[in-house]
Structure 1
Amino acid sequence: MDVGREARRAPARLRRGDRGSEADRERRMSAPNNVVEPIEKSWKELNQLVESLGPMGLTMTGPDGWAVKDHLVHVAAWEHSLIALLDGSDRRSAMGIGPEASETDSINAAVWSLHREEKPEQALAYFRQTHTLLMKLLGGMSDSDLALPYNHYQRNDPRDPGDDRPALDWVAGNTYEHYAEHITWIRAIQR
């Protein structure tokens, strides 16, 4: 968002009476960065789907052997990884797995193995608590913070020095883009 442009346009909007909705004003005042809104939108969609299934629906299993609760734990584990990325901690440790799991598939298998015996209520609590922690962290970050590269945050586990992609790429990939994938898979289980 170009703050200067918005500041110049604001008086004209106010004179016209174009103040936007209450929700628009609240969002502009409360969102510290531009990633919060798409995360919240996609999170709401995922939560509505989960709520529509009820507790027994969390045990429905797809052809790959994953129950809905496994998808929720998986999303939460990757959110924990994102929290660790942004606070400079070890990402695999944050997920509760060891360094032997290094590729995405082996990480996912390790997370599944770690949590597979959890009851649906435990999986749901982990899913929601982790998201709350992540949103608290993101709520204190600016767009400038999220534009910093991965290596700025992960100095002990850097990527290729030439990889200057912003941390925002990991935020998107481990939140709203990730939720969308799992919404699709959960809906497929539901059918």
Structure 2
Amino acid sequence: MAQQKSKAELLEMRRALYTHFDALIADLSEQQMQMPGVTDGWSVKDHIAHLTFWERVNLLEMLKAIEQGISWTDPGFESTEEVRDKTNEQVYLQNKDRPLADVLAEFQATHQQVLGYLEKLNEGALKTPYEWLGGRSIITWLSEPGGHYEEHEQYIRDWLAWQSSAKE
């Protein structure tokens, strides 16, 4: 079993993850960000709103509970694939007509809040196994490969590659 990362390594990884994703979307025009079709009818903006929602309701709320010394209660948005799909559809509908600037600002603010909580929590709290994470620690959970950012980044990269090949 691999040694668990340190708090400093986790913070570095989270910053790099965000910076990498931000670099991917930074060169896109407003039109590209709002063009449907990345996955089904979703645009890049919709993927960003989706990531923001899940970071806020799962990770941020979990970190707040740890800071307060209380048990986190899963809101049940991921209880089954059907519930998760319905939640994702609701998030999409709530955000699809929001201005791009608002979605990007919330994405940035949520990222900063997550980093703030990760910085405030001591290493012991981040390395403690939690029942709601299947006995994993925050550090282990957030260090697992193939995370949410990577998944959506790949959708966007595939769409951009398809866009580029369609122009040729």
Structure 1 length normalisation: TM-score? 0.65
Equivalent residue for 1:138? 118
Q: 1:128-148 deviations in whole A, cap 9, x for unaligned?
A: 111111111111123321121
Contact 1:61–1:189, Cα closer than 8 Å, also in 2: no
Equivalent residue for 2:32? 57
Secondary structure at the residue paired with 1:33?
helix
Amino acid at match of 1:166: S
Contact 1:84–1:91, Cα closer than 8 Å, also in 2: no
Q: Hey, what's the Cα distance between the residues in 2 that align with 1:167 and 1:101?
A: 18
Amino acid at match of 1:48: A
Q: Hey, what's the Cα distance between the residues in 1 that align with 2:77 and 2:148?
A: 24
Alignment equivalent of 1:85, drawn from 56, 59, 62: 62
Moved more, 107-116 or 38-47: 107-116
Equivalence map 1:24-63=2 (5 Å): 32-62=7-37, 63=39
Equivalent residue for 1:177? 147
The structure showing larger relative contact order (alpha-carbon pairs under 8 Å, at least 6 residues apart) is 2
> Structure 1 residues 90 and 123, CA, compared in 2 at 3 Å: closer, same or farther?
farther
Equivalent residue for 1:73? 49
**Unpaired segments ≥5 residues, structure 1:** 3-30, 93-98, 152-157
Contact 1:82–1:91, Cα closer than 8 Å, also in 2: no
Alignment equivalent of 2:93, drawn from 100, 113, 128: 113
Structure 2 length normalisation: TM-score? 0.73
Amino acid at match of 2:27: S
> Structure 1 residues 149 and 186, CA, compared in 2 at 3 Å: closer, same or farther?
same
**Unpaired segments ≥5 residues, structure 2:** 66-71, 164-168
Equivalent residue for 1:164? 135
Q: Hey, what's the Cα distance between the residues in 2 that align with 1:82 and 1:70?
A: 19
Q: 1:21-69 deviations in whole A, cap 9, x for unaligned?
A: xxxxxxxxxx953211111112111101111103222112224111100
Pick the structure with greater CA Rg.
1
Q: 1:109-154 deviations in whole A, cap 9, x for unaligned?
A: 2222222221211111111111111111111123321121233xxx
Q: What is the percentage of aligned positions where both structures have the same residue?
A: 26
Equivalent residue for 1:126? 106
Equivalent residue for 2:68? none
